[in-house]
A and B are shown apart, each in its own frame.
Chain A
Amino acid sequence: MTTTASEKPKRKPWWLPAVAVLAIGGIVAAAVAMTANDDGSNTSSGPSSGSIGDPEIRQAKWKFTLQRGPGKKFSNKQRVYFAKQRKKLKAMTREVFDALYLSPEKQRAALRANFTPKARKSYQRAGVGVPQKAEDVRIRWRSARIVIDGNARATMDVKMIARGKAGQGAFATKHRSILYAARTNDGWKVFGFNVDQNPFRKNKSSDKEEDKKNRDKKKPAKKDKKRSGGRNRRGDRS
C-alpha cells in the first residue's frame, strides 16, 4: 500500500531542539543584563547566588530600643506625637543601614534623605559599610538604641556585625555609629555622628581552650588546710 506525500507522517527537524535551547539561553542572558547594575553586581529580587542583598540569605532581625529623654511627664498630645517620631526614626535607621550593608545602590539616596549635606559627605568619606563588590553579606547582629528628647532631638546608637565575601577573601566587620539628629522642617536630619568600624574576629574554639588554660594557670593552688588545732565543719575541735 503506497501513501502520498500529504499522507506521510511529519518528522520534526533534527536541529529544532538545539535552536530551542539557544533561544531560551538568549532570553535568560538578556533578562540578566537588564537587571544588572553598572558595576556588574546583580541586586534583583529573584534568587541569584552571591548577590549583596540576596533575599535567600537570612539576616539578623533588627533589635530596637526606643526611649524618651529626661524631662517632664508627657501630655496625651505629646505622647501621640512621640509615638510618631519613634516610627520615623526607626524607619530612618532601617533605611540608612540596610542601604549601607545590603543595598549599596540605595546608599546615596538614603543618606541624602536623612543627613544634612555636610554630615552626609563626611559620613560617606568615613567609608562605613561593607567593602566594595561584597557578596553573600550576612548581618549577624543589628541593634539600635534610639532616645528622643522633647520630640525634637535624638541620639541613635547603632551596632552591626556583618560577614561576607569580598574579592578572594572573606570579611567580618563590627560597626558602631552614634548618630545625632534634630527635627527640621524637612523632617529628621542627622547633623553629627561618631563612627567606629573594625574587623571582627569571633573567638574560635581553639582560642577558647587556650583562654581557659591561661585562666587555670593564673589560679593559685589551693593550700592544704591545717588539721591540728582547727575546727571541723561542725565547729568541733579536731
Chain B
Amino acid sequence: MAAAPIRGGRAHAEYQPKDGKIFVLILGSDARSGNPRHSRTDGVHLAGINTKTMKGGILNFPRDSWVNIPGSGSARINEALNRGGPDLAVRTIESLTGIQVDYWLLTAFEGFQKAIKDVGGKIPLPLKRGMYDSGSGARLPRGTKTLSAEESLAFVRSRKSLPGGDVDRTANHGRFLIALLRKLRGDIERRPDRMFDWMQAARKWTALDIPPHELFQLGVLTSQVKSQDVGNVTVPVRIGSVGSASVVFVQPGAQAIYDRFKEKASL
C-alpha cells in the first residue's frame, strides 16, 4: 500500500459501453401544456461522454436546421419530435450525424423549471453581459453569478436580445448544460447522496428512456467529468429559406464535427 497522498482525489465509475462512449439526446420542448412528446423542440442537443478519457462534448443543433426526417421528408429539425415523438427525433439525429444515440431525455417549460427547483436552484452561470429579453422575460444584469429556476428558464428561452438569434440561444443551452454539470459536481462533493435528489428530479420532471439503475450509474459517471473538459459546439449553419419559411442550412463543415464527435465522444 502506498503512503503518498492522493492529491486531487481519484475517481472511478464503472459504466463501460462496448466502445467506451455514451451519447444522450437532450430535447427541450416548447410545450407550455399538453403532451411534450408531440410538440416542437426549441432545443436539440447531443451530449457525449468518453468513459476512457473522461471528457465530453455537447453538440447543439439550431431548431430551424433543415434536415431529412426519416420517413417524413425534409423539414426543420424541431418537427421530428412533433411528427414521431422522441424515437423519430433520435433517428433523425442518427441519420444526420451517423452517431448511434444510447438514450434520450425530454423536458418542457414547466418540467424544466421544477427540476431546477428540486435540485436547489442556484445554477452557477456567471454572465459577462446583461440579458434583457422581452420575449422570455429575462432581466439578468451583467455580473449575475447564479440563476434561480425562473431565471434559468428565462435564460434558455432568450433569443430576441441575442445578436445571433436562435443560433446564439442554442449555444446558450449548451452553456447551461455545462453549468448544470458544475452544480451537480458541487452538490456531490458536499453530499454524495444528493445524487438521488438529482435522479428523482430527472425521473419526475422529464421523460427519459433510462432505467433507474442505469440512470444512477450514468449520474455517477457524469459527476466525474470536469466541466472544463466538456466542449460546447454549435453545428455551423447559414441562414436561408425554403419557400416562405425561414430556415438554416447545415454547412458542409459540420460533417467533420460529426466524425470527430463519433470517434472521440468529446469536443
Contact = CB atoms under 8 A, between A and B. Distances in A.
Interface residues of A, number: 43
B1 A145 contact: no
Contacts of A69: 193, 196-197, 200
Indicate the member of B5, B10, B199, B212 with the most A CB atoms within 10 Å.
Answer: B10
A182 B6 contact: no
A197 B5 contact: yes
Interface in A84-131: 100, 104, 107, 116, 118-119, 122-123, 126-131
Interface string B212-236: 1100110011001000000000000
A130 B3 contact: yes
B245 interface: no
A119 B6 CA distance: 17
A182 B216 contact: yes
A155 B3 contact: no
A199 B5 CA distance: 6
B101 to A, nearest CB: 23
A69 B196 CA distance: 6
Indicate the member of A155, A166, A173 with the most B CB atoms within 10 Å.
Answer: A155
Interface of B: 1-16, 188, 191-193, 195-197, 199-200, 212-213, 216-217, 220-221, 224
A229 interface: no
A196 B9 contact: yes
B14 A195 contact: no
A129 B5 CA distance: 10
B13 A182 contact: no
A75 interface: no
Contacts of B197: 69-70
Contacts of B217: 182, 191-192
A102 to B, nearest CB: 12
A150 interface: yes
A152 B9 contact: no
A147 B193 contact: yes
Indicate the member of B14, B197, B213, B220 with the most A CB atoms within 10 Å.
Answer: B14
A149 B14 contact: no
